Amino acid sequence: MAKKEGNRSGTRHIGATDSTPARRDAKTPQHLLKVKTHATAKERETAVLVSVPPRRQSDLQTTEYLDELAFLIETAGAEATKRFVQKLEKPDIRSYVGEGKLAEIKAWVQHEKSSMVVFDDDLSPSQLRNLEAELKVKIVDRSLLILDIFALRAKSATARTQVELAQYQYLLPRLTGLWTHLDKQRGGVGMKGPGETEIETDRRVVRDRIAFLKEKLEDLDKQAHTQRKTRTNTIRVALVGYTNVGKSTIMNLLGKAEVFAENKLFATVDATTRKVVLDNHVPFLLSDTVGFIRKLPTKLIESFKSTLDEIREADLLMHVVDISHPAFEEHMEVVNETLREIGASDKPSILVFNKIDQYQAEETQPAPALALAGADEDDDFPVDFAEPAARPPLAELEASYMARLHDPVVFISAQQKENIDALRELLGRKVAELYHARYPYAHPGESWATPSE
């Protein structure tokens, strides 16, 4: 088994910029992470999407989920060219989809020479193995796809270490399954699969690397903690929300920061913190963080502990929602659920409905994008265009949210700079309230002379 990888152009090496001397990883197992969803060749890779929705899930929802998966694929640098949907009570334990559907997928993949098949769930190691043996192309599940995007985006030492750790944690139980397909990627001809001894050796190497990365993260955490301790007498605000809702755009607007904002999922993987001084208000620290997404694997959340500490340690959350997205209410639920999971759901928060410039009131939803994107229109998934979902006029929506929620609400367009004064006013007021409640005898701004800021 070739253990060394050359630094071929166009190939990304996770952790390659990691300058920390490896203590125990004389044989760095990074070649094991080379299952990539993004294009490494000149030609753009093509992906077939597969989803097994429960019977009770509406067709509209299925379409939205597949749209999101296609967006993830696009963010990773490939193109979704076909969708297969099979409604089942639950995914097949052996091959995720049923036998008939699998044969259909196989025929398509072979005929169209697709580069990979992407599943909108996490696959068990045995499902992964079986699918790989049957379809003979790259098999990508939701975790692997998200991890790959995170790896593309992560810049800081902490974020990179977190991603690498999550990748190896993902890899460990799947090591045997992934071998065959790694061989294939390397050309395969004449390459024999590794024997059990080699797999065992690699398992040990990966375990060592995991231990090493955990130690490294602990060190980085300590440094970050010490740095945060110097920010005394300061209210901390964290931007939270679903991915691609406009958090970084708001950060740039308020914090005069230059944070990468883009119409791609997970543009931000590193946490960034800026001091913000709004006119006549108490200064505060604002952090931009990684966006949330549905079905974010718990393991992945755990390995992003350091980034999520910014949220956990915040005094106030600004929950940003993209109101122009058809599924914005479900997105809010996902965010609230994730906040609960990381133990940050009881914090005071402000709800910021963004992208009002793009919001379109209408009586019914537009026809699902399914037909446009080459969906598999077989009997398993009759396309249903008549699903009504009212989108009331903005003023109505605003009034109903204001009345319904305990948290303060503001409707803005960060891009068009609409209603930003209202946002500043609300934020300034909330921060001042928190500040005076917490430090009744302090004078705002007096701690800002500390050298670390």
57 touches, from Mg ion, ligand GTP, none (C-beta below 5 to 8 Å by class) = none
Nearer to Mg ion, 66 or 254 (CB): 254
Indicate which single residue of 130, 249, 307, 349 sits in contact with ligand GTP (rule: CB under 6 A): 249
Nearer to Mg ion, 165 or 261 (CB): 261
User: Residue 135 interacts with ligand GTP (CB under 6 A)?
Assistant: no
Contact track, ligand GTP, 256-275, x by CB under 6 A: -----xxx-xxxx-------
The answer to whether the beta carbons of residues 134 and 157 sit under 8 Å apart is no
How far is it, in rounded angstroms, from Cα 383 to Cα 58? Answer: 10
Find the residue with minimal CB distance to Mg ion.
268
How far is it, in rounded angstroms, from Cα 393 to Cα 398? Answer: 9
Q: Give residues with Cβ within 8 angstroms of 406, minimum separation 6.
A: none
Pairing of the two strands 116-119 and 272-276: unpaired
262 touches, from ligand GTP, Mg ion, none (C-beta below 5 to 8 Å by class) = ligand GTP
User: Residue 248 interacts with ligand GTP (CB under 6 A)?
Assistant: yes
User: Residue 246 interacts with ligand GTP (CB under 6 A)?
Assistant: yes
243 touches, from ligand GTP, Mg ion, none (C-beta below 5 to 8 Å by class) = ligand GTP
Contact track, ligand GTP, 350-369, x by CB under 6 A: ----xx-xx-----------
Burial of residue 369 (CB within 10 Å: 0-12, 13-18, 19+) is middle
Indicate which single residue of 137, 154, 267, 323 sits in contact with Mg ion (rule: CB under 5 A): 267
46 touches, from ligand GTP, Mg ion, none (C-beta below 5 to 8 Å by class) = none
How far is it, in rounded angstroms, from Cα 405 to Cα 353? Answer: 13
How far is it, in rounded angstroms, from Cα 369 to Cα 380? Answer: 17
How far is it, in rounded angstroms, from Cα 389 to Cα 55? Answer: 19
Q: Residue 259 Cβ, how far from ligand GTP at the closest point, in Å? A: 7
Residue of 182, 337, 321, 179 lying closest to 250 (CA atoms): 321
User: Residue 414 interacts with ligand GTP (CB under 6 A)?
Assistant: yes
Structure tokens, 208: 């060592």
Pairing of the two strands 284-288 and 272-276: antiparallel
**In degrees to the nearest 10, what's the CA dihedral of 138, 139, 143, 144?**
-10
Nearer to ligand GTP, 70 or 182 (CB): 70
User: Residue 177 interacts with ligand GTP (CB under 6 A)?
Assistant: no
List contacts with Mg ion (CB under 5 A): 247-248, 267-268
List contacts with ligand GTP (CB under 6 A): 241, 243-249, 261-263, 265-268, 291, 354-355, 357-358, 413-416
